[in-house]
Amino acid sequence: MSALTPEALLADYLALADDSCVAVLPHVLRITAELDIADVLAADTMTVEDIATATDADTEALYRLLRALVSVGVLLEDPTRSFRLTETGHRLRADAPDSVRESVLNADSQRAWLHGIETIRSGRSVFDSVHGGDFFGHKNSDGDADRAFLRRMRERTGRLYGQFSATPDWRQSDVVMDIGGGDGFMLERILREADHVKGILFDRPSVIDMVGKAEHIRSLGERCRLEKGDFFEALPSGADTHMLCSVLHDWTDSQVITILRNSRKALRDGGRLLIVEMLVPENHEWHPSRWSDIGMMVLTGGRERTAKEFTTLLDESGFTLSDVTPIPNSYFSVLEAK
């Protein structure tokens, strides 16, 4: 967390906007990630010529990009026009524990944001008008976009709420179903930590088809069952614990109620539902949930919610909120409902 107040950060932002840095920076970071510059420099100091050869880039054009990255603390340069990563720069590596590489590569969302004003005027997501299909429909029809989305969600899960796997008491669970669980990153962690638990990974058919042959899933053997479907239609039975990790914020209130009611129908009697989301505070202090809320509105039509709003949705769906536990070192919380 920066020591600067939000007001001071905004003042700096507006000052930088005057010389184009903040307009250009997202694109520079995306190009840097596309060229794999941080991965090329992972362990070495290299000359601009060697970096250009490794990334198939024009030497002088690349140098101008690299010196701009030096000015914002991504790289360090020595007098021989050689460069190395800073601590911040390492976060652009694909294998960094706190990597943001997949997030800065997210060109689909960047294109949609150019039309964000349409959402404020209409109250509806603009993703469809930009990409010819809603957010998840676009993923279903474009394999490259779907794979990129799965990589981004895996990176985001580990970085933003990776300690969730150690937060609930898994002794209460026999079979855990991860609803909308992507490539199974979180479910795998849970099954590794709680060796008595079996898992069900449920997601869209295109997702399950992609991850079914992944080594981290195959290594779990019969402990992990894969199920494909549509959670607006029905969910498979057999689990005593359902997980919805950063899923419900993608959807409107009426859609969330449909998902929760289908969870209630499929859940074993006496079972529990674990929801992992950021909670919008009741006060007016800065919190990332307020900004994620705008992102959900523009990209998916969903929203971030307060604890009270979740309580209302759960009540309408046949659940009772029993506990809210902040995840350590995270802005996310676990809402447990029975």
Catalytically active residues are 249
Q: How far apart are CA 257 and CA 237, in angstroms?
A: 18
- Beta-carbon count within 10 A of 178 CB: 26
Give how far Cα 138 sits from Cα of 155, 164, 299, Å. 20, 29, 12
Question: Which residue blocks in 114-163 are alpha helix, DSSP H?
Answer: 116-122, 127-131, 135-141, 143-161
Q: How far apart are CA 143 and CA 82, in angstroms?
A: 38
3-state secondary structure 206-269: HHHHHHCCCHHHHCCHHHEEEEECCCCCCCCCCCCEEEEECCHHHCCHHHHHHHHHHHHHHCCC
Q: Is 81 left (phi over 0), alpha (psi -120 to 50) or beta?
A: left
The helix/strand count (H/E) of the chain reads as 17, 10
Q: How far apart are CA 114 and CA 127, in angstroms?
A: 10
